[in-house]
Structure 1
Amino acid sequence: MFKRLKETILEIIQQADLILLGLCCAASVFGIAMIYSATRYNNDNRKIIVQTAALLIGIVVYFGISMIDLEMLIKRWKWIAAFDVLFILLLKTPFGVSDDTGNTAWLKFPFLPVSIGPAEVVKITFIILLAWQLQWLREEKRDLRSFSAAFYVGGHTLGIAGLYFVISGDMGNALMFLLIFVVMSFVAGFALRWFALLFGASGAVIGGIIAFDLVPDSKKYMLNRFIVLFDHSYDVQHTGWQQTRSLLTIGGGGFWGQGYLHGTQSQAGVGSVPARHTDLIFAVIGEELGFVGATLSILLLVAIIIRVLVVGWRAAQPFHTYVCVGIASMVMFQMIINIGMCLFIMPVIGLTLPFFSYGGSSVVTLFAAMGFVSGIKKRTVVRRRPGRPLGSNAVY
């Protein structure tokens, strides 16, 4: 019995994408080291324990998810869609937790030691459902350029993004749904006119809201976060405080950095660098490890994105390709927005740096997403036949 179990475990490990797993683990360990540095000033070891436990759980989840066949899972698409809606609606129950800005974007269950962000989970199931929609439209409608195709996929995206934003008030993750949709539908072959219409309509709506001062007082801070990008002196003590401190911290690192655990701002007390273990972890990397460390962190994330895209490019069918593209775009946009936020060129919208920032549920769900990619790689290899080109069923 133990021999069979050992053989099964070894088979699971051997069939998984160990390169992708290694890159994810390297980024996570890097992140844990920087979280330790960022929280050392108050002797808070709990975050290190939580993040390390999340990494270990994430590895197990990675192997477990890689065993799931997406074709079998997607047959229960109605249940997945219902789960997305109900999981978001849980934010309106007593389990929903509000942050300092009034956004209700976290769930706190009494039987779990950490909070869960529904958006982290729903983004993955959303990508799977959207990928299946795109393949279905390609096969059944045979025309991704039609209005009906744009209506189906656009309606799905706006429905989830709109519901999440109305319920939670979290603009960052609501925006992520839209960005993921744009990349996936573009790769699938949607007509450019639909993207032009989307961006044009969005610009007109946002412009109208600003021009006619329709932003409610409770949400004025969102508008201010965009204004401060063009005028760094605007409301420095409030709206621009985080990014001003972040830019100062990164600037102090120079090329080689001030040394691990020796950052002037990173090791200072409360009030020096806000959210240094979450939203502004990149600032700590920049100060203590300098340009070299910051570049290494970016290269690790870029390597993960490239690996996911390579698996998608080799996939045996468009459905798998679209899933990989969606997951890669999710990591890519979070990286770009978070780093841009730390460099004061993008607004603060609450998106953390994947694998690096503190957040147990975030790490576990990221490893789960990568587990789906690993499973796609495994099944691409298993289903190959002699003389059959790899990925011959996919359109690239």
Structure 2
Amino acid sequence: MNTLFSPLQEFWKKGDKLLLLLCLLASAYGVALIYSATRYNENDREVIIQIIAILLGVVVYILCTFVDFQLFVEKNWKWLFVGSVLFILLLLTPFGSNVGGNRNWLDLPFLPINIQPNEIDKIPFILLLALLITKIQDQGRDIGSVLSVLQIGAYTVFMLGLIAAVCGDMGMCVVYTFIFVTMAWSAGVKLRWFVLAIGAVVIGFAVLWIFVLPNTAAWDSVYFIKRIRVLFDHSFEPLGVGLQQTRSLLAIGSGQIFGKGYLQGSMTQSTTGALPARDTDFIFAVCGEELGMVGCLALLLLLSLIILRCIWVARNANSPFHAYVAMGMAGMLLIQVAANVGMCLFVFPVMGLTLPFFSYGGSSIITLYAAMGIVSSIKARNLPSWLRDRSGQ
């Protein structure tokens, strides 16, 4: 019996219990919203799958706490890289399925749910990028030098190109890019590099928007361009590309301060004129309609605390590798929260990004708990303050 409970006792001593508690609170809140969002179809399948995924996620969280990921990645980085690439390439097989215009999902006959490789691959991407940055620094090279920036940038561009070519998922490309920016900035890459990159993107997009698209069929045919255009002109295709965000904004606005009441949202509970993707991409709108501004602030507070906890762990990490990994996890959460909420408020384009811990998705929730389990592992290996001071960290 002692042998059975000894891992749990070890986790209780060293693991990040506060982070796990915050994740569980957010997940429980999310399950309540998913139940409301799917109640109209009189089927609890999504709720059951979400609860099972959360339970599995907790197990993964605890197991990850015991792994020294720096040692693991240093020994297995080649396999981790090859595996992450092959995982995405599996989408080109008959098991890959196209949903919503993106080839994101693997439909494996031996699994009860679909899995999203580019969602799961965020973890090896963060681990490998952290290893690459630390190797450059261990060699005594300036991480802000041209060669160093090109080196870490090349790996990132490779992954972005792979995801864009195989999946066509621009939203996930934004997430990977922001993870890179967060980790590179944390490592000491100078601000001028980011200014140059942003400037190049803005100029390129402006040229495309002003001189190229108006003279081509792409202006009216490329769906992603329409999603951006509708942000500046809400009257553009209000029953087409703008329909999802228009309804989301109406639902959030109708909730006002305290909402219409749990399970009482007219658009959430309706089958006609209803919120689209209400259990996934637009779960925030469900919260806004039924629980109002107070419910939305509570949701954002929970997610903010999780992100701040990741940053705290990064600041107290016992090695640069661990610090970069924890910051990468924080950046991953931050961009997904900002993009999803912005999408629901009609200020960001629809990119198919779910709200962490709240949106329905088995592979997503397990991946999130694995990511937070890695942060817990970093916290479990923190140096005590007096030793950290002596080591100069």
TM bracket, shorter-chain basis: over 0.9
Cα distance in 2 between the residues matched to 1:8 and 1:218: 58
Indicate how the Cα distance of structure 1 residues 78 and 261 shifts in structure 2: closer, same or farther if over 3 A, else same.
same
Does 1:205 pair with 2:204? yes
The one-letter amino acid paired with 2:5 is: K
The one-letter amino acid paired with 1:88 is: I
Deviates more, 1:143-152 or 1:364-373: 143-152
Hey, which bits of structure 1, 4+ residues long, moved more than 4 A?
214-219, 390-394
Q: Any idea what SS the aligned residue of 2:97 has?
A: strand
Q: Any idea what SS the aligned residue of 1:303 has?
A: helix
Deviates more, 1:151-160 or 1:268-277: 268-277
1:86 corresponds to: 86
Among candidates 285, 288, 299, match of residue 287 of structure 2:
285
Q: Any idea what SS the aligned residue of 2:387 has?
A: coil
Indicate how the Cα distance of structure 1 residues 358 and 270 shifts in structure 2: closer, same or farther if over 3 A, else same.
farther
TM-score (norm 1): 0.95
Cα distance in 1 between the residues matched to 2:128 and 2:30: 30
Deviates more, 1:354-363 or 1:194-203: 194-203
Q: CA RMSD in A?
A: 1.6
2:170 corresponds to: 171
1:29 corresponds to: 28
Q: Any idea what SS the aligned residue of 1:237 has?
A: coil
1:233 corresponds to: 235
Quick check: 2:70–2:321 contact (8 Å CA) kept in 1? no
Quick check: 1:105–1:168 contact (8 Å CA) kept in 2? yes
1:247 corresponds to: 249
Quick check: 1:229–1:344 contact (8 Å CA) kept in 2? yes
Cα distance in 1 between the residues matched to 2:5 and 2:284: 40
Q: Which runs of 5+ in 2 are unaligned?
A: none
1:322-343 deviation per Cα after TM superposition (whole angstroms, max 9, x unaligned): 0011000100110001000000
Cα distance in 1 between the residues matched to 2:314 and 2:338: 21
Cα distance in 2 between the residues matched to 1:98 and 1:218: 22
Does 1:330 pair with 2:332? yes
Indicate how the Cα distance of structure 1 residues 158 and 63 shifts in structure 2: closer, same or farther if over 3 A, else same.
same
1:263 corresponds to: 265
The Cα shift of 1:391 comes to: 9.4
Quick check: 2:283–2:355 contact (8 Å CA) kept in 1? yes
Quick check: 2:220–2:226 contact (8 Å CA) kept in 1? no
1:16 corresponds to: 15
Quick check: 1:317–1:393 contact (8 Å CA) kept in 2? no
1:105 corresponds to: 104
Cα distance in 2 between the residues matched to 1:267 and 1:319: 47
Q: Which runs of 5+ in 1 are unaligned?
A: none
1:189 corresponds to: 188
Quick check: 2:318–2:388 contact (8 Å CA) kept in 1? no
1:316 corresponds to: 318
Quick check: 1:318–1:393 contact (8 Å CA) kept in 2? no
Does 1:46 pair with 2:48? no
Cα distance in 2 between the residues matched to 1:118 and 1:278: 17
Quick check: 1:341–1:348 contact (8 Å CA) kept in 2? yes
Cα distance in 1 between the residues matched to 2:259 and 2:13: 39
1:129 corresponds to: 128
Indicate how the Cα distance of structure 1 residues 374 and 391 shifts in structure 2: closer, same or farther if over 3 A, else same.
farther
The Cα shift of 1:393 comes to: 5.3
The one-letter amino acid paired with 1:95 is: F
Cα distance in 1 between the residues matched to 2:60 and 2:236: 45
1:191-215 deviation per Cα after TM superposition (whole angstroms, max 9, x unaligned): 2222122112222332333331268
For residues 309-388 of structure 1, what are the structure 2 equivalents within 5 Å? 309-381=311-383, 384=384, 387-388=386-387
Q: Once the two structures are aligned, what percentage of the paired residues are identical? A: 46
Cα distance in 1 between the residues matched to 2:110 and 2:217: 38
Q: Any idea what SS the aligned residue of 2:381 has?
A: helix
Cα distance in 1 between the residues matched to 2:242 and 2:391: 51
Cα distance in 1 between the residues matched to 2:112 and 2:189: 43
Cα distance in 2 between the residues matched to 1:159 and 1:387: 42
The Cα shift of 1:28 comes to: 0.4
Indicate how the Cα distance of structure 1 residues 218 and 354 shifts in structure 2: closer, same or farther if over 3 A, else same.
farther
Indicate how the Cα distance of structure 1 residues 390 and 301 shifts in structure 2: closer, same or farther if over 3 A, else same.
farther
Cα distance in 2 between the residues matched to 1:187 and 1:219: 40
